[in-house]
Chain A
Amino acid sequence: MFVTRFNNRLRTGIIIMILLMIINLVNILFNSPLVPIQQWAQKIFYYHVPCAWVAFLSFFIVLIAGIMFLKTKNYKYDRLGLAAAELGTFFTVLVLITGPIWASAIWGKAWTWEPRLTTTFVLFLIYSGYFMLREFGGAPERVARYAAILGIIAFIDVPIIFISVRFWSPEVQSHPQVEMALQPTGIMTTFFFSLFTFTMLYFLMLWIRTGILSLKVKNQ
């Protein structure tokens, strides 16, 4: 493996992660009841919702890293912010792909301006701008500060966007989470296990990404 110092821990981490993912898949396929109307399509949620959760967690970490960077001017937090922003966008894209797959099966149309989906989409756009700012902002010392601020602003904007979109299209109200609670009990164990797996996966990925970013600095 690449990061010699982390070699063993990294290998263990990845192996555990693969095992967890397999258990998760088995759980989803065989260990959870089919929901009456949605049937197999409902099982998309076991991937869709954890992805969304992890994406928002990631953007929250961008916020924290941004505040810490502005306070301490330690580039450790800048790298953490960049890694979290990348991963957040990565999972946001997954959310934006898996959401319409479910919607096209259940609603018959791929995209509606459903509040959660719209908020996620706007966040994706903001973070596209974030990476452009990182790319074209100039000296990395300045860009680090700008990125920290944008990360904070983006997170402040999320609740406002969500509220505005929610009242903007009040007729669309079919939220995954709301329906989840109405379903048979067997669902929840599988769902929480998946949530746990993805959170672990996320922290593994964050660890790898920050490791690579700090390696890059050391090599310079």
Chain B
Amino acid sequence: MEYNFFNHFIFTYLIVLIALIGWFSMMFIKGKRLIRPNKSKTGS
């Protein structure tokens, strides 16, 4: 029984972790895409 409950906890933890990592990497990609045109402007 205890083992089963532990599974539930790990499951929860992983879901929160994956969601957060997903969110941050999404923001990272979005931010990069937005910063690029600016960079090319200053470069030229």
Contacts and interface: CB of A to CB of B under 8 A. Distances in A.
B31 A41 contact: no
B34 A212 contact: yes
A48 B16 CA distance: 9
Contact of A212 (B1, B5, B20, B31): B31
- Name the interface size band of chain B: 20 to 34
Given A4-B35, A215-B34, A41 B27 contact: no
Interface residues of A, number: 33
Interface of A: 1-4, 14, 25, 38-41, 43-44, 47-48, 51, 90, 93-94, 97-98, 101-102, 104-105, 201, 205, 208-209, 211-212, 215-216, 219
Q: Top 4 closest A-B pairs, CB basis?
A: A2-B31, A40-B5, A40-B6, A41-B5
Interface of B: 1-2, 4-6, 8-9, 11-13, 15-16, 19-20, 23-24, 27-28, 30-32, 34-35, 37-38
